[in-house]
Amino acid sequence: MCGLPLMHDPNLIVGMESGDDAGVYKLRDDLAIVQTIDFITPIVDDPYTFGQIAAANSLSDVYAMGGKPVTAMNVVCFPVGSLDISVLKQILHGGLDKMREAGVVLVGGHSVDDEELKYGLSVTGVVHPDKVVVRDGARLGDRLILTKPLGTGIMTTALKGGVVDDETLAPVVSSMATLNMKASELMQEIGVNACTDITGFGLVGHARGMIDKNQLGLEIMIDAVPIFRGVNQFSEMGLVPGGTGRNMDFYRKSIDLDGDIDRQMLDILFDPQTSGGLLIAVPKDKAEALLKGLHRNGINQAAIIGEVVSKPAGKIVIRK
Ligand code: CO
Ligand code: CO
């Protein structure tokens, strides 16, 4: 917001200054709304699939707050002069099918003629005001669970470079189109301390947000981090999106490397994700139960990737 004065309201539970995934506003003592908007440019060739991914990506911020999305509006930028309208129809169809799966009702939308195609949703969800899962609530000893593998940025860059075969791409596309709904429900059932979804700032950037204010540190065990098959190879080939370097520059001071960790692995930890998984800080004694629950519900690649430690405060130690 470029330093503009923020608005204050006693019912605003999570506002802009928190840097959280979505805003939360209390309507009643037992009801708050969760609001977010997100739209992206195409990352896969098939319009229907892109629509699914864009919608899953937009809904994710509500899930990251522990909310249940209820209504959504389409946000569309479409090059009317250069693309056939049937392409837009397929994109919206993909989005609509995801909304249906999420139990979300489409209530409207807005479109503009734009040279560059973009699609996403503005989403409103609900949550009990006492059950909001913020980003920076991690506590000492918490285990960190990541629910989806990393590498969507590198993989879609490789796709643009024309070097990915369908078999390698398929699990990545399917993961990006997968809602974080079930993972969010499971974390709410079990009770967790913090959550955020992994998107543009990469695993490290979003993990850093968990320890912004609480004088704690994080340890990430690199061998435990799930990564899509093929990502290592493409990262070695230098097929890395532009955002990776920006993320690395910005968060370099926040990481300590312990062990022999090569540049290619760092590229993966900083890889900007589209529709990435949830990163959850869960009390140690509940971590195994949550992990089992995720696996039982088809979130097979969810893994405990690290823990919350006392020092160095404000740092993420990456261990080999
Ligand atoms: Co988010
Ligand atoms: Co977002």
What's the rounded Cα separation, in Å, for the pair 259 and 31? 47
> Which residues fall within 8 angstroms of residue 273, CB to CB, at 6 or more apart?
150, 152, 153, 198, 199, 200, 202, 203
Task: Compute the distance from residue 21 Cα to the ligand 2 centre, in Å.
Answer: 6
Task: Say if strands 31-40 and 68-78 run parallel, antiparallel, or are unpaired.
Answer: unpaired
Which of the ligands is closest to the CA of residue 196?
1
Which residues surround the ion ligand 2 when the cut-off is CB under 5 Å?
38, 61
Of the candidates 222, 193, 224, the one whose C-alpha atom is nearest the C-alpha of residue 210 is 193
What's the rounded Cα separation, in Å, for the pair 195 and 137?
8
Over residues 198-203, mean pLDDT: 97
Stretch 81-92: mean pLDDT: 96
Residue 278: both structure tokens together:
């949830």
311 CA → ligand 1 middle, Å:
26
Q: Is the pLDDT of residue 280 over 90?
A: yes
Name residues whose C-beta falls within 8 Å of residue 263's C-beta, 6 or more positions apart in sequence: none
Model confidence at 7, in pLDDT bands (50, 70, 90)? confident
Q: Over pLDDT 70: what percentage of the chain?
A: 99
Tell me the per-residue pLDDT of 108-160, one tens digit each, with 9 for 90 and over.
Answer: 999 999 999 999 999 999 999 999 999 999 999 999 999 999 999 999 999 99
**Domains and their CATH numbers in the chain:** 12-131 (3.30.1330.10), 143-319 (3.90.650.10)
DSSP state of 4: P
CA of 78 to the centre of ligand 2 (A): 21
pLDDT tens digit string along 263-272? 999 999 999 9
pLDDT for 303 equals 98
Considering the chain, what is the average pLDDT of its residues?
A: 96
At residue 214, the pLDDT reads 87
Q: What is the pLDDT of residues 177-198, one digit of tens each?
A: 999 999 999 999 999 999 999 9
Indicate the DSSP class of residue 6.
P
Q: Is the peptide bond before 226 cis (omega within 30 degrees of 0)?
A: no
Provide, rounded to the nearest whole percent, the portion of the chain with pLDDT above 90: 94
SS3 167: helix
In order, the DSSP letters of 56-113 are HHHHHHHHHTT-EEEEEEEEEEE-TTTS-HHHHHHHHHHHHHHHHHHTPEEEEEEEEE
Average pLDDT score over residue span 160-182? 97
- pLDDT for 96: 98
Residue 294's contacts (CB-CB under 8 Å, 6 or more residues apart) are 145, 147, 182, 183, 186, 302
Task: Tell whether the torsion through CA atoms of 279, 281, 287 and 293 is positive or negative.
Answer: negative
Distance in Å, CA 20 to ligand 2 centroid: 9
Mean pLDDT across the stretch 15-40?
94
Residues 92, 185: Cα–Cα separation, whole Å = 26
pLDDT at 316 over 70: yes
Compute, in angstroms, the gap from residue 199 CA to the centroid of ligand 1. 6
* Res. 1 pLDDT band, cuts 50 70 90: low
Tokens coding 221: 């065990």
Rg of the chain over Cα atoms, rounded to whole angstroms, equals 19
Neighbours of ion ligand 1 (CB under 5 A): 21, 61, 197
